[in-house]
Amino acid sequence: MSNPATDRHRIETEQLLRQMNDEWVKALVRGDGETLDRIMADDFYFAYPLEGDDKTQFIDDVTSGVIKVEYINRENVTVRIWGHTSVLSAHDAAKWFYQGRDFSGHYKIVHIYARRDDKWQLVAMQACPVV
């Protein structure tokens, strides 16, 4: 049997995580290090096609233009919540460059969020090319 209070809390949490996801995508395109810093946990890890970055390296790469994102069209977003952990997955069509090299294409992404000190943070992300 469903508990209305629990259901409401789950819906609110999912809405918050979807909003954080939208803010993260927009900040990535704008090169907005302040927003990325607010959303990402200090021990964040990003695994993507070439190598992995921690939070500081990733934000530095984005704000310096080492990683340049022209657009991300994110579709089929799903959110799953297990207590203080959540996974958001989606399919991206993206135009982006790493060290000037074009890596545009389609990606399956996974964002992992953790609730710490009463707030949700993005703790890890993986982007895998869809071939």
Element spanning 79, H or E: strand 67-82
**What's the CATH code of the domain at 88?**
3.10.450.50
Bridge-based pairing state of the strands 52-54 and 40-47: antiparallel
Computed over every residue of the chain, the mean pLDDT equals 93
Q: What is the pTM of this model?
A: 0.91
- Measured between alpha carbons, how far apart are the two ends of the chain, in Å? 42
Distance CA 17, CA 81 (A): 10
pLDDT digits (tens, 9 = 90+) for 103-127: 999 999 999 999 999 999 999 999 9
How far out from the chain centre does Cα 55 lie? 12
For residue 3, what pLDDT is reported? Answer: 78
pLDDT digits (tens, 9 = 90+) for 51-80: 667 899 999 999 999 999 999 999 999 999
Q: How many structural domains are present in the chain?
A: 1
For residue 65, what pLDDT is reported? Answer: 95
Domain that holds residue 68: 4-129
3 state SS of 28 = helix
